[in-house]
Structure 1
Amino acid sequence: MTDTSTQSPPTPVPRCFALLPCAGTGSRAGTASPKQYQPLAGLPLVRHTLAALQAVDRIERCLVVVAAGDLFLSLDLDRIELADCGGATRAESVFNGLQALLAQGAAPHDWVLVHDAARCLVTPQQVNALLDACWHDPVGGLLALKLPDTLKVEADGRVAATVDRSDKWLAQTPQMFRLGALHAALAATQAQGFAGVTDEASAMEMAGQHPRLVPGSAQNFKVTYPEDFALAEAILKSRP
C-alpha cells in the first residue's frame, strides 16, 4: 500500500482569463471619442477584438477594464465582464484589472492573457498558438513579429546609425503570464508610477524573467493612427 500521508495535494489545473485594458483615449487616432469605440465594419472596434477572444474555448472569462463612468459598453455577451477600474495609464489599468480578477476568485497560478483593445485583427488561431506555446512554459510569453524593416538610429533628424535587426522583434499582444507573477511584477513598479513598463513582458523582464517569443502576424497591428482604420476595415471585410 502506498503511503500518502506526506504527499502534497495535487496542484489545481490552471484556468485561463483574458484581460482587456479599454480605458485609453486614443489621442493619436484623431477621433472625437476613444478609438476603441469607433465604428469599424459595422461594429465598434472593440467588439471585433472581443469576438476573437470569445471564439477561444480555453478562455474562461474576459474582463474588460474601462474608465470610471464609461457607459459606452453595456455588454450582454457570453464570458465577457466589465470592470470600471481603469487607470491613468495602460499599466495601471492592467494592474487594477488583475486585482479585480483576484478579488473575483482567480488564483495566482491561473494564466491571464492581456490584449490591446485596439488590436482588433487578432484571430482565434493566433491566440490558440500562444496558448499552445506557453501553457507549460515556466514564464509565459507573447505574440511578436520579427522586425521586417531596416532600423535606423536618429540624431537631429538625420540617420546616425543602422541597427542590426536579426535579433529584433516587434512586441504584440496577447501577452500570457501567470496571474500572480504578473501582478507581483507590476506591484514592484507601482510606487514609481509603473516607470519603464511599456507592456506586460517588460514588467516581467524587470522582475528578472525572460518571456517566450511566439511568432504572430503582421495583420495583428494596433490601430493607432487615422489611416489604420481604413486598413483594418479592409482586412476585416476580406475575411470570411
Structure 2
Amino acid sequence: MTIPPPAMPEPVLRPFDDRADGPQRLYALIPAAGVGSRSGAQGPKQYQRVAGRRVIDHTVAAFLAVPAIAGVGVVVAPGDTQYHAADERIRVWHVGGETRAHSVFNGLLALSGAGARAQDWVLVHDAARCLIRPADIERLIDACRDEPVGGLLALPLPDTLKQATGQQAPPRVQATVERGDKWLAQTPQMFRWQVLYQALAARQASGFQGVTDESSAVEALGERPLLVVGSSRNFKVTYPEDFAMAQALLMHADAAQEAA
C-alpha cells in the first residue's frame, strides 16, 4: 500500500532548481542533527574542524562535486544556527528529530516539499563520514541507478569476528563468527524516495525502533538492497582518535592534489 506523505508545516520550503530535471533525479540527504557525545569534542562533531574545514563542509563538498546530484538537503536540529547554505544546490532544513531515523524521515518530507518526486533517488549520507570521495558516490550511483530497490556502500568484513558473552565484565569470547558473508555497512545508502519513505513511515509509530540505517528499514519491507564495495577511508568520525586519522588522510590528499 502506498502511504501518502503528510504536508510539511510552514515555513514554505524553497524548491530546488527546476533545471535539475529528468525522469529520476538524484538528491543527497545529510542528517546532521546529532550532538556527537562520543567524540570528546566541545559541541557537535559535524562542526569540528579537520584539515582546515568543518567535518560537514568536507562531506557536502564531495556531493556538490558529483554532477548527477541535483541538490543536497542538510537536516539540522531546530534552533541550530551553525550551518548555512554556501551553494545554490544546498538546502538547510531545521527539522532534526530525536534519532537519526527520525531526522531522515523529516528530511524526506522536506525533500518532497522542495520538489522531489516518488521515483527520484535519495542518497542518505552520515555527516561525519567526511572522507567520502566523489568517485565513491559515482560508483554507487552507477551500480544502483537501474536497480529496482537500491543499495549502499559497504565493505566485506576484513577481520575475524568474535561474539562476546552477555554483559559480563570484562568481556570474554563466547564464539568465533563466520565472516565470509558479513559486510560493514557504510553510507551513502541510495533508495527511491517513495520506497524509503514507506519503509520509515512503517516504523514511525514505534519511534523507529530497530532502524539502524536506511537499508534496515527497507529490508523490513522484504527487499534486498545491493551491496556496493566502498572504501576503508569512508569511516565515520566518532571517537577522538578518528579526528587525527581523518586529519592525516585529508592533508595527504590535499598534498597529493597540489603535487599533481
Q: Is TM (by shorter chain) over 0.5?
A: yes
Deviations 1:186-205 (A, max 9, x none): 00000000011000000000
Query: How far off is 1:74 after superposition?
Result: 1.8
Within a 5 Å distance, the mapping from 1:156-195 to structure 2 comes to: 156=168, 157-195=171-209
The corresponding residue for 1:225 is: 239
User: The residue matched to 1:29 in structure 2 has which SS?
Assistant: coil
Q: Percent identity?
A: 58
2:61 pairs with 1:61: no
The one-letter code of the counterpart of 2:31 is P
The corresponding residue for 2:19 is: none
Deviations 1:46-101 (A, max 9, x none): 10001101000100000000000000012221311100000010000000000111
Moved over 2 A (4+): none
* Matches of 1:15 and 1:62, distance apart in 2: 12
User: The residue matched to 1:170 in structure 2 has which SS?
Assistant: strand
The corresponding residue for 1:113 is: 123
TM-score of the pair, normalised by structure 1: 0.94
Query: How far off is 1:117 after superposition?
Result: 0.2
* Matches of 2:197 and 2:150, distance apart in 1: 14
What is the aligned residue count? 229
| 71-80 or 28-37, larger mean C-alpha shift | 71-80
The one-letter code of the counterpart of 2:181 is D
* Matches of 1:64 and 1:42, distance apart in 2: 21
Within a 5 Å distance, the mapping from 1:51-200 to structure 2 comes to: 51-155=61-165, 156=168, 157-200=171-214
Deviations 1:151-172 (A, max 9, x none): 0000121100000000000000
TM-score of the pair, normalised by structure 2: 0.87
Which of 30, 35, 38 is equivalent to 1:25?
35
* Matches of 1:222 and 1:120, distance apart in 2: 7
User: The residue matched to 2:173 in structure 1 has which SS?
Assistant: strand
* Matches of 1:59 and 1:154, distance apart in 2: 42
Q: CA RMSD in A?
A: 0.7
* Matches of 2:195 and 2:147, distance apart in 1: 13
Deviations 1:17-58 (A, max 9, x none): 000000000101011100000011111111000110100010
Q: Gaps (5+ residues) in structure 2?
A: 1-21
